């Protein structure tokens, strides 16, 4: 879908991207992560030609992006800029519809599309007339996502869209975004400097440093396979515990326990990190409930599951 080969970007004499190769598959979410100034935003902006590269090639659906008119390219690529980037003098509807206006959509179609996007992002329709300063941080960021999705582009470029939110709001919006992107089969390149966000959203994680991709792996493969000291230091010792958050008790496919009558059990959508915490708290198995069925969870179930996921993605 998107293929970058030997990309190089210079700002004056400073090399911001050095020999970057990256192929992003259809429907995949690749997360670019690394310290500030390592070239994440530059890499993202080279894809929709917000900046032009100095060497290398980028193809989009097998076509060199230099051979496509910029407007045509940008119509197929939704872009969420770093910081919220809403226009302060425009209300929510105008912000979301800005590209639709440029493309001369009919007013009735714009109305329908904006409503659809707000509903999908769980924002009340009454917000259409609010100005950005009347929104909470989380709401403003949801509006930013709506704007990127407006023309229903196959590709989304997201530059730290959920920075500066409190952790609870942040996790909610991350999960909502992941579900929407998966449901709509979007191809996503997502920039963050937060490793937990990278793990939660990424099918693959591209770890960057000083203008290069140091390692490109699935979140599970990174547990064992850390090619460089930089990777080790960057992801930290508790990395494997963070990976548990990608999965829910439901994903373990436990066998229901018969002869067990419990009135309350825990929700099967609990993530595995929280489930492990529950296992640590008590000596008996933790009971989860789903409709009429009950499931007993031991921490060894979690361990073997995550081992299996590692094997699946490394071989
Ligand atoms: P990141 O998004 O990972 O923080 P950037 O891609 O924004 O990194 O920047 C990579 C490097 O290029 C940094 O050293 C930054 O200072 C430099 N840089 C970025 N944009 C410009 C610019 N417009 N002019 C000059 N230098 C820039
Ligand atoms: Mg940046």
pTM for the structure as a whole = 0.90
pLDDT, residue 138, reads 85
Cβ atoms of residues 8 and 15 within 8 Å: yes
Ligand that comes closest to the CA of residue 208: 1
What pLDDT digit, counting tens, does each position of 125-166 carry? 999 999 999 998 889 988 998 999 999 999 999 999 887 778
Per-residue pLDDT band for 311 (boundaries 50, 70, 90) equals confident
Cβ atoms of residues 74 and 48 within 8 Å: yes
Encoded tokens for 103: 């493309």
pLDDT, residue 120, reads 86
Using most ligand atoms within 8 A of CB, pick from 13, 16, 159 the residue to mutate for ligand 1: 16
CA of 64 to the centre of ligand 2 (A): 25
CA of 82 to the centre of ligand 1 (A): 12
3-state secondary structure 234-265: HHCCCHHHHHHHHCEHHHHCCCCCCCCCCCCC
Ligand that comes closest to the CA of residue 35: 1
Question: Cα-flanking dihedrals φ and ψ of residue 213, to 5°?
Answer: -90, 115
Measure the CA–CA gap between 284 and 228, rounded to whole angstroms. 40
Check if 38 has its Cβ closer than 6 Å to any atom of ligand 1.
yes
Check if 11 has its Cβ closer than 6 Å to any atom of ligand 1.
yes
From the CA of 39, give the closest atom in ligand 1. 6
Per-residue pLDDT band for 178 (boundaries 50, 70, 90) equals very high
Q: Cα angle at 175 between 49 and 80, to 5 degrees?
A: 20
pLDDT, residue 95, reads 95
Cβ partners under 8 Å of residue 136, min gap 6: 169
Cβ partners under 8 Å of residue 123, min gap 6: 92, 139, 142, 143, 146
CA of 158 to the centre of ligand 2 (A): 10
**Mean local confidence (pLDDT), 226-249:** 92
CA of 37 to the centre of ligand 1 (A): 5
Summary count for the chain: helices (H), strands (E): 13, 13
**Mean local confidence (pLDDT), 77-85:** 83
Encoded tokens for 167: 């952790």
């Amino acid at each position: 879908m998107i293929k970058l080969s030997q990309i190089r970007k210079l700002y004056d004499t400073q090399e911001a991207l050095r020999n970057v190769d990256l192929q992003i598959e259809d429907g995949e979410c690749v997360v670019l992560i690394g310290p500030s100034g390592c070239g994440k935003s530059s890499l993202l902006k080279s894809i929709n030609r917000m900046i032009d590269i100095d060497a290398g090639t980028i193809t989009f659906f097998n076509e060199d992006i230099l051979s496509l008119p910029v407007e045509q390219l940008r119509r197929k690529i939704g872009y969420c800029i770093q910081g919220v980037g809403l226009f302060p003098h425009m209300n929510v509807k105008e912000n979301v519809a800005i590209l639709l206006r440029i493309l001369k959509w009919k007013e009735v179609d714009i109305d329908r599309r904006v409503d659809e996007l707000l509903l999908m992002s769980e924002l009340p329709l009454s917000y259409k007339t609010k100005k950005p300063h009347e929104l909470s941080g989380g709401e403003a960021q949801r509006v930013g996502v709506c704007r990127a999705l407006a023309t229903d582009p196959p590709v989304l470029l997201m530059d730290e869209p959920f920075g500066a939110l409190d952790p609870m709001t942040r996790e909610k919006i991350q999960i909502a975004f992941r579900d929407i992107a998966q449901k709509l089969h979007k191809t996503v390149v997502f920039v963050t400097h937060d490793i937990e966000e990278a793990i939660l959203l990424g099918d693959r994680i591209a770890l960057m440093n000083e203008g290069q991709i140091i390692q490109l792996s699935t979140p599970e493969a990174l547990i064992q396979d850390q090619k460089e000291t930089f990777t080790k230091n960057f992801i930290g010792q508790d990395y494997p515990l963070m990976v548990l958050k990608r999965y829910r008790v439901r994903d373990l496919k436990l066998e229901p326990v018969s002869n067990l009558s419990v009135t309350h059990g825990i929700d099967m959508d609990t993530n595995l990190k929280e489930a492990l915490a529950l296992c640590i708290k008590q000596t008996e198995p933790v009971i989860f409930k789903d409709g009429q069925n009950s499931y007993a969870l031991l921490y060894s179930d979690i361990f073997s599951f995550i081992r299996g996921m590692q094997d699946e993605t490394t071989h």
